[in-house]
């Protein structure tokens, strides 16, 4: 099979750990020129050096995607170094766990700033290059973007907003050949639950899930590349996610109760 990713310029946000790190490494293994973006500069430098040690091409730009000027700088530095952008993977994201009754609204603002506005900012400044290359914009999302999850109002809202933005972007660029894909990996063994925000904005610290039983970031990364290769529109990696996307249109009440029961079973659930 032809390696379509060789020498392509790929930006991955949230690349300092988890899915973002795995996606960056996977692209590098396929010969792409990878630009890693995240807030943790030390970790970015470490991953970049490891990619280079394996004969890959990469560099990093310390980026807080909630800040428009930093997203603009990310694109500018990428273009200054490599001349263009072929693929943008909007992976940076944070989660939360608190019922809306209790949550400080600053938590919802933070979720929207990172998950939604981070996607918007990076896409806005990369778009001219992506369109000229008939490239790909990827949104790493969640089943929470297809159906609201209890205890995750801000997370679900941000993912619904991401979906609406990316779907509209796809339609606006139908004649220009831009590929837009939303991928929903399902629960993956990353640090997102460790850093999830609680009602007062502090980090949760301990995951309520049995991380060892979850899909690996490397598994998700391979599907990201497969989806791009096949120019997929949506890619939902789990059966429960696919069932949710289907049945929330025909039996939404059943899905409501299913997620209520599932989330209420979590250790230290904010509701019962």
Domain of 128: which CATH number? 3.40.50.720
**Predicted pLDDT at 209:** 47
Q: Is residue 272 part of a domain?
A: no
Q: How far apart are CA 153 and CA 157, in angstroms?
A: 6
* Within a domain: 260: yes
4 assigned to some structural domain: no
Q: How far apart are CA 200 and CA 203, in angstroms?
A: 9
Residues 6+ apart with CB under 8 A from 137: 87, 88, 90, 123, 126, 127, 130, 166, 169, 178, 179, 180, 181
In the residue annotation, 155 being an active-site residue is answered as: yes
Cβ atoms of residues 30 and 56 within 8 Å:
no
Which pLDDT tens digits describe the chain residue by residue (272 residues)?
578 999 999 999 999 999 999 999 999 999 999 999 999 999 999 999 999 999 999 999 999 999 999 999 999 999 999 999 999 999 999 998 899 999 999 999 999 999 999 999 999 999 999 999 999 999 999 888 888 888 899 999 999 999 999 999 999 999 999 999 999 987 655 565 466 888 887 776 565 545 455 678 899 999 999 999 999 999 888 777 777 777 677 777 877 777 677 767 777 777 66
pLDDT of residue 185: 85
Give domain status of residue 2, yes or no: no
Contacts of residue 241, Cβ cutoff 8 Å, sequence gap at least 6:
143, 146, 184, 186
pTM for the predicted model, two decimal places: 0.88
The active-site residue out of 125, 129, 155, 259 is: 155
Q: What pLDDT is stored for residue 1 in this prediction?
A: 58
Tally of domains within the chain: 1
Q: Which helix (H) or strand (E) holds 250?
A: helix 239-250
Within a domain: 270? no
Half-sphere exposure of 268 (CA within 13 A, CB side): 9
Residue pair 74/11 in contact by the 8 Å Cβ criterion: yes
Please give the order of strands across the beta sheet that includes 136-140: 57-62, 33-38, 9-13, 87-90, 136-140, 179-184, 234-236
- Quote the domain boundaries for residue 103: 9-264
1 assigned to some structural domain: no
CA-CA distance, 12 to 87, in Å (whole number)?
Answer: 8
Indicate whether 13 belongs to any domain.
yes
Does residue 154 form part of some domain?
A: yes
Q: How far apart are CA 199 and CA 160, in angstroms?
A: 21
């Amino acid at each position: 099979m032809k390696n379509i990713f060789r020498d392509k310029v790929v930006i991955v946000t949230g690349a300092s750990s988890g899915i973002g790190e795995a996606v960056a490494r996977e692209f590098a293994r396929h010969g792409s020129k990878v630009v890693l973006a995240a807030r943790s500069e030390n970790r970015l430098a470490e991953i970049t050096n490891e990619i280079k040690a394996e004969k890959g091409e990469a560099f990093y730009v310390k980026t807080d995607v909630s800040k428009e000027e930093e997203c603009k700088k990310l694109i500018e530095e990428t273009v200054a170094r490599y001349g263009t952008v072929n693929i943008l993977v909007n992976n940076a994201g944070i989660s939360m766990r608190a019922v809306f009754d209790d949550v400080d609204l600053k938590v919802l603002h933070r979720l929207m700033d990172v998950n939604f506005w981070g996607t918007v900012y990076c896409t806005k400044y990369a778009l001219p290059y992506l369109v000229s290359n008939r490239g790909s914009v990827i949104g790493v999302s969640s089943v929470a973007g297809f159906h609201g999850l209890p205890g995750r109002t801000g997370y679900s809202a941000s993912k619904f907003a991401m979906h609406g933005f990316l779907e509209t972007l796809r339609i606006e660029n139908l004649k220009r050949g831009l590929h837009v894909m939303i991928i929903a990996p399902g629960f993956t063994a990353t640090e997102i639950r460790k850093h999830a925000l609680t009602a007062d904005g502090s980090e949760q610290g301990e995951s309520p899930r049995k991380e060892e039983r979850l899909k690996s970031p490397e598994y998700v990364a391979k599907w990201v590349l497969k989806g791009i290769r096949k120019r997929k529109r949506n890619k939902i990696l789990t059966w429960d996610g696919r069932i949710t996307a289907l049945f929330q249109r025909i039996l939404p009440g059943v899905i409501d109760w299913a997620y209520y029961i599932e989330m209420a079973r979590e250790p230290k659930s904010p509701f019962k």
